[in-house]
Structure 1
Amino acid sequence: MHQGPGQLLRQRRFGPFFATQFLGAFNDNVFKNALIILVTFQGLRSAGMDSDFLVNLCAGLFILPFFLFSATAGQIADKFEKSQLIRIIKALEVGLMGLAVAGFWLDSPLFLIGVLFLMGVQSTFFGPIKYGILPQHLREKELIGGNALVEMGTFLAILLGIIAGSKLISLDGGAIWVSTTLMGVGLLGLLFSWKIPTATPSDPGLRLHWNPFKETWRTIGYAREVDSVFKSVLGISWFWFFGTTLLTQLPNFSREVLFVNEDVYIVLLAMFSVGVGLGSMLCERLSGDVVEIGLVPIGSFLLTVFCADLYFASDFPARDTLMGWSAFWAQHGSGRVLMDVTLIGVSGGFFIVPLYALVQQRSHPERRSRVIAGNNILNALAMVLSSVMAIALLAAGVTIPELFLLTAVLNALVAVYIYTLVPEFVMRCLVWLIVNTLYRVRKENLERIPRTGAALIVCNHVSFVDALVVAACTRRPVRFVMDHRIFQVPVLSFIFRTARAIPIAGKKDDPDTMERAFDTIDKALRQGELVCIFPEGRLTTDGEVDDFRPGVERILDRNPVPVIPMALQGLWGSFFSRIDGPPMRRPFRRVWSRIGLVVGTSIVPGDATAKRMRDEVVALRDG
């Protein structure tokens, strides 16, 4: 049964960790935004440096440690018990907050920027633990929900930290208010960290290597071991390039383009953060129990659309004084700006949550934290490049709205490049859109599908979209064996080819195709893949399950593997079934109807006769 996010928050294996990381993100942003407000709106300067340079310098210095120290952080996270590491890091955070207090008291921008760099170091060591501990405490089907909560919580913490930091520093004696908050929240986070359950070290025998440059290259190599993981890491890194460009420029965009004060800047950040939270939770709701990477192309497309529209919505007349909220809201086009910023956040939630979950799911468990460290290194590099690009282009005379437009164009080009390299993303997107547009799917006992190793799925054959429904509901990639004629159906053909489906023909129709299919099935099973076959050999013409053909027994004779019976319910009578003649004749028949996918218990190869398998599938269908 799908467990809602609220249930996870109430459980000790997730709740204290969530609170700890939430309070840490909140504290980071109280400090960072108090500093940004001082630099951008209250005239804090150092050595003649202007606010554009100082804001981008702060962004670059905070993320520079991720590039320098992530390799070491990943090793430590894999070697040692993670809950104890979190407590050590939280204790260091309290010490850093003490340094921040001293910086505010000294009124020294360079000292505060130095503290910001040290906070980046602390966050660097927390990152691999943060994403590495989730798969140890959560079940696989909870990964999307857990990641959605973490992303939503992080951006909510950013929002509240921005509001608190911006408001507190603007009060009389603002430095004292900020300092008190930093210390209090740091201590509270340390208390929550003591409630986090232990997490067994992933690789306790790991020998630590301290050369940061050599180990950085090695760590990136761990991220490259699984191709889909590495491409997901590249996607995550691009998201942080995109997000850094947007968020770093937002203070000066507010002041110099929209001509608004810090109150409106806070509202814009709030709308972005709320958008990310909504997108993350909507992603969790739409994905269900599956890591649904099909939502990633939708997110990237919408990022381009709304970031480009922000350029066109930014034509505000110049003013001598900065507008407050009421004056800004009265301006023509203000609602469009707010909508764009919010929907960029929603799109980002769609984009980032499935990618993080896929990295956690498909990485080798004993090196998962180092893979995440490799992800953090590339993320940091992307964010540093974003800061460098922004500084260079702004210095060359490019305006902030033009920078947003350029970023939107780059996002479209990067998306096309990544999806060309990994068509699985587009394939999953098409599968998700088709299945979720046409049907409401109820899934039962998906956990019976083995997480690793070879297995043969047998399922009843009701319609042309049976394989799509199974693929949309299954966490692991599946190799489908299907009639060569269905393999040629337009649009579906791209999906089946990308999913490496195996076309098969009858012996009388094309004996060579049939033999190639059995050889390919044998090879896939020997490589530990999941293969699905519809043993009836054709679509049902009366809604009943036909006899299973002997080819399924031939597969098991060549490669005896566990058999997973599976049954589709409710597809008979739909647009893609053969009810009343050939399929796809009457459009809009049974659109968005309820269907079901039920998984049975595994059958050992020795007991898996064609009759036994058919009986199991019929029982599941009628159950």
Structure 2
Amino acid sequence: MAIHSQFRLLGQRRFLPFYLTQFSGAFNDNLYKNALLLLIAYQTTGLMGLSVNTVINLAAFLFILPFFLFSGIAGQMADRYEKSAIIRKVKLAEIGIMAMAALALWFGWYEGLLILLFLMGTQSTFFGPVKYAILPQVLSDDELVGGNGLVSMGTFVAILLGTIAAGVLMGLEAAAKLTAVGVVAMAVVGYLAARKVPQTGIASSEQVIPFRPILETWHLMSVAAERKPVLWAILAISWFWFLGAAYLTQFPSFAYSNLQGDETVVTLLLSMFIVGISIGSMMCERLTKHRITLAPVPWGALGLTLLGVDLFFAVPVNPQPSTWWTLMTDPVYIRVLFDLVGIGVCGGLFIVPLYAFIQHETPPNKRARIIAALNVINALFMVVSALTGIVVLGILDVAIPGFFLLLSLVNGIVLIAVWRLRHKAG
């Protein structure tokens, strides 16, 4: 088969509509979630008698809870039914949820917005297994790494753009009403793209789907553990989400406390990190020579450790007040940006081959359930990441650069594990 660039996939119906669907969904999730958090933080004094900080943490919990409740059922449905039909129904549900959210935003019903955040998380839970399980059905083996690279890049860029858009909208006078229009418009765009996703066929027409949310999610773990290399790959990806969540969560405090930066510095740090992940994701196809291989993964893990350690030493001891331009022009701060871009690049090299490996090594009739198990473990690792940040930064009173250093050293253990996984996987 002739070898082509991954970007040619963006011109083909078997990939482009799906890509636009997942991009719009990731953008809308982050636009809605971040706009809601900013509205709560700046336009309320708390809800239901709870403080602002408590409400913000409750919002994060409500968004992630459906992954634990419904992933088992979502994975079974994606294995049982035709995947393009599931995508269309999930995106249609998004229009309904966002229409209700628009009304709540328009009239300032913030309690209702929290409930809708749970529904948005539920919608994402049902889209997740289809998102990665459909790729091996529409792409050949020599396209799988490139396709995953594009999806990874698109997801993180959508997260960045959605976050920035929420911040921009909150600076306008009619912030809530403009957000209401925006989330409905993006949901409609996503559904229109989903209508063009081609059919893929049914993998397991005999499978019965019992409605036992927590039990079925627990059962996912046994399905994922059937093949040990696949389970180790799942745990490695979840570790990256632990690491990524830790970095992203601390960026605002890191920018303010350790770089003396204004709000533009937070956006720049987030942008550099995500640009790095996008570059790393795009590099994977060329580095693997279109093959399903874990060869880049240990090098990505090594880079995560070395650049994380260097970031600790790059942080200025006596920072001066800074803006995004200071970080781009002052050699002291340029080193910080270089490390963050590098950490992102290594993250892309780390996760994209692992996703392709999992898709390739799992049987088609169980693939979506294994992806659903990955989503559950990802969610669990991100919760543990938040708790770790609370303990290390709050209780142990470690500074943020020290926390980043600790994460980098722990990543050294992961490096050993993925090096062994690479050789076991062949």
TM-score (norm 2): 0.92
Q: Say which SS state the counterpart of residue 293 (structure 2) adopts.
A: coil
- Aligned partner of 1:169 in structure 2 is 170
- Aligned partner of 2:382 in structure 1 is 383
Residue range with higher mean Cα deviation, 252-261 or 224-233: 252-261
What pairs up with 1:74-89 in 2 under 5 angstroms? Answer: 74-89=75-90
One-letter code aligned to 2:204: D
- Aligned partner of 2:98 in structure 1 is 97
- Aligned partner of 1:326 in structure 2 is 325
Q: Does 1:343 align with 2:342?
A: yes
Would the alpha carbon gap of residues 253 and 77 (structure 1) be closer, same or farther in structure 2, given more than 3 Å must change? same
Q: Does 1:412 align with 2:412?
A: yes
Would the alpha carbon gap of residues 313 and 108 (structure 1) be closer, same or farther in structure 2, given more than 3 Å must change? farther
One-letter code aligned to 1:362: E
Unpaired runs of at least 5, structure 2 = none
- Aligned partner of 2:133 in structure 1 is 132
CA contact (8 A) 1:141 1:290 kept: yes
* Distance in 2 separating the partners of 1:29 and 1:405: 28
Would the alpha carbon gap of residues 44 and 250 (structure 1) be closer, same or farther in structure 2, given more than 3 Å must change? farther
- Aligned partner of 1:527 in structure 2 is none
* Distance in 1 separating the partners of 2:361 and 2:179: 42
* Distance in 2 separating the partners of 1:327 and 1:378: 39
- Aligned partner of 2:420 in structure 1 is 423
Deviations 1:226-257 (A, max 9, x none): 12111101111111111111112222322333
- Aligned partner of 2:6 in structure 1 is 5
Among all aligned residue pairs of Structure 1 and Structure 2, give the percentage whose two residues are the same amino acid. 43
**Deviation of 1:367 (Å):** 0.8
What pairs up with 1:502-521 in 2 under 5 angstroms? Answer: none
* Distance in 1 separating the partners of 2:221 and 2:335: 41
One-letter code aligned to 2:343: I
What pairs up with 1:159-238 in 2 under 5 angstroms? Answer: 159-238=160-239
What pairs up with 1:447-486 in 2 under 5 angstroms? Answer: none
**Deviation of 1:394 (Å):** 3.0
* Distance in 1 separating the partners of 2:136 and 2:234: 17
**Deviation of 1:36 (Å):** 4.2
* Distance in 2 separating the partners of 1:98 and 1:398: 44
Residue range with higher mean Cα deviation, 251-260 or 381-390: 251-260
Q: Does 1:35 align with 2:36?
A: yes
- Aligned partner of 1:373 in structure 2 is 372
Residue range with higher mean Cα deviation, 169-178 or 288-297: 169-178
**Deviation of 1:31 (Å):** 1.8
- Aligned partner of 1:276 in structure 2 is 277
**Deviation of 1:45 (Å):** 4.5
* Distance in 2 separating the partners of 1:287 and 1:88: 35
CA contact (8 A) 2:84 2:200 kept: yes
- Aligned partner of 1:451 in structure 2 is none
* Distance in 1 separating the partners of 2:100 and 2:223: 36
Q: Say which SS state the counterpart of residue 208 (structure 1) adopts.
A: coil
Would the alpha carbon gap of residues 128 and 7 (structure 1) be closer, same or farther in structure 2, given more than 3 Å must change? same
* Distance in 2 separating the partners of 1:154 and 1:278: 13
Would the alpha carbon gap of residues 92 and 329 (structure 1) be closer, same or farther in structure 2, given more than 3 Å must change? same
One-letter code aligned to 2:16: G
* Distance in 2 separating the partners of 1:117 and 1:18: 24
One-letter code aligned to 2:373: G
* Distance in 2 separating the partners of 1:252 and 1:43: 21
**Deviation of 1:199 (Å):** 1.4
* Distance in 2 separating the partners of 1:149 and 1:108: 37
Q: Say which SS state the counterpart of residue 365 (structure 2) adopts.
A: helix
Would the alpha carbon gap of residues 148 and 329 (structure 1) be closer, same or farther in structure 2, given more than 3 Å must change? closer
CA contact (8 A) 1:82 1:129 kept: yes
CA contact (8 A) 1:148 1:283 kept: yes
Q: Say which SS state the counterpart of residue 423 (structure 1) adopts.
A: helix
Deviations 1:107-145 (A, max 9, x none): 455543433332211111101001111111111111111
- Aligned partner of 1:242 in structure 2 is 243
Report how many residues are paired: 422
Q: Say which SS state the counterpart of residue 68 (structure 1) adopts.
A: helix
CA contact (8 A) 2:87 2:127 kept: yes
Would the alpha carbon gap of residues 55 and 336 (structure 1) be closer, same or farther in structure 2, given more than 3 Å must change? farther
One-letter code aligned to 2:19: F
**Deviation of 1:20 (Å):** 0.6
One-letter code aligned to 2:383: V
CA contact (8 A) 1:94 1:186 kept: yes
CA contact (8 A) 1:299 1:347 kept: yes
**Deviation of 1:307 (Å):** 2.3
CA contact (8 A) 1:55 1:248 kept: no
- Aligned partner of 1:23 in structure 2 is 24
* Distance in 2 separating the partners of 1:331 and 1:100: 43
1 or 2, which has the higher helix percentage?
2
Q: Say which SS state the counterpart of residue 12 (structure 2) adopts.
A: coil
**Deviation of 1:222 (Å):** 1.1
- Aligned partner of 2:403 in structure 1 is 403
One-letter code aligned to 1:21: Q
- Aligned partner of 2:51 in structure 1 is 49
Q: Does 1:155 align with 2:152?
A: no
**Deviation of 1:338 (Å):** 1.4
**Deviation of 1:346 (Å):** 0.6
1 or 2, which has the higher strand percentage?
1
Would the alpha carbon gap of residues 45 and 229 (structure 1) be closer, same or farther in structure 2, given more than 3 Å must change? farther
CA contact (8 A) 1:168 1:178 kept: yes
* Distance in 1 separating the partners of 2:398 and 2:61: 20
Unpaired runs of at least 5, structure 1 = 429-476, 478-498, 500-623
CA contact (8 A) 1:65 1:124 kept: yes
Q: What is the CA RMSD across the aligned residues, in angstroms?
A: 2.3
Q: Say which SS state the counterpart of residue 398 (structure 1) adopts.
A: coil
TM-score (norm 1): 0.64
**Deviation of 1:293 (Å):** 0.2
CA contact (8 A) 2:301 2:414 kept: no
Would the alpha carbon gap of residues 99 and 408 (structure 1) be closer, same or farther in structure 2, given more than 3 Å must change? farther
CA contact (8 A) 2:70 2:214 kept: no
* Distance in 2 separating the partners of 1:330 and 1:50: 36
- Aligned partner of 2:360 in structure 1 is 361
* Distance in 1 separating the partners of 2:195 and 2:278: 27
Q: Say which SS state the counterpart of residue 206 (structure 2) adopts.
A: coil
Deviations 1:511-547 (A, max 9, x none): xxxxxxxxxxxxxxxxxxxxxxxxxxxxxxxxxxxxx
**Deviation of 1:290 (Å):** 0.5
- Aligned partner of 2:293 in structure 1 is 292
**Deviation of 1:402 (Å):** 2.5
Would the alpha carbon gap of residues 316 and 58 (structure 1) be closer, same or farther in structure 2, given more than 3 Å must change? farther
**Deviation of 1:395 (Å):** 2.7
* Distance in 2 separating the partners of 1:170 and 1:189: 26
* Distance in 2 separating the partners of 1:43 and 1:306: 39
CA contact (8 A) 1:45 1:109 kept: no
Q: Say which SS state the counterpart of residue 259 (structure 1) adopts.
A: coil
Would the alpha carbon gap of residues 389 and 61 (structure 1) be closer, same or farther in structure 2, given more than 3 Å must change? farther
One-letter code aligned to 2:401: P
